[in-house]
Structure 1
């Protein structure tokens, strides 16, 4: 089972082949996070179809955890689930970012990607394939749906990384962090 452990702690082209879309990009951890955040800013749910902040958080955490369970291994939290403002100068809307990682695999990466694809498609997520090309190719997928703004899996020979951004919800990030951490800060 893909248990998640908590520690302290692009540019591309898109082509269509058959029924799948393939996106080739150079995606390192920082680039992937930037891509997810930018996607999160551009793909917020309309204000009329809102979920509350707790539901937004639960949705991204649930999808990431179901996905890591499908792959298995010892996943570690890299970030989150962290609340943040939903775009610049937006004080009344929030989203959650959740990033986990684990040791990579030189074999079985495509099988792992397909296992995650099945979880996401079952959840109603639109999925596109990604890869970095070149030696030591990292394969992966990206997804979007009504319940999450974006989610991605990069499966490399050295490291797997899964990053998710929830839909935007009403709320104040500072207040929600204060509520969550209380006196721990």
Structure 2
């Protein structure tokens, strides 16, 4: 296994120092979460890992070097391979549509959730992804509302009190971001 990124070690230490027992990671493949799992085991740290990814087999698109649109499916969303790897390592994987994503209707671009996504994006481009990962983990029952967790990807981490999608902005039951841990460019 390759060397773990120092940001992941910092995030684990933050969890330990702040009594956070669950770490949610938004993943594209299994590499980063298995590195964190190995680090936890090697240091006898008991933090539950939860992996969140795109819907199973959902196609993504990227512009290649010739400005041609290429279609691909992220590794973590590609069938059962990574799900089986994570299951062997006792890491739950939730593949889900992200709550802020609209339904694709050709010729129509209206999605009220885009306002939320764009607002969070003004703070950091990774923030909408982390908030949605939290909502997916809570909606699926792996995290309970008002539970303090750390949510991270490769470039950002947030210390947050969880909520489900319906109560995102509720005055008492809504999400509360306690701290933005890392912002990387």
* Normalised-by-shorter TM-score class: under 0.3
Q: Name the TM-score, length of structure 2 as normaliser.
A: 0.25
The alignment's TM-score, normalised by the length of structure 1, stands at 0.25
If asked which structure has higher relative contact order (CA below 8 Å, sep 6+), I would say: 1
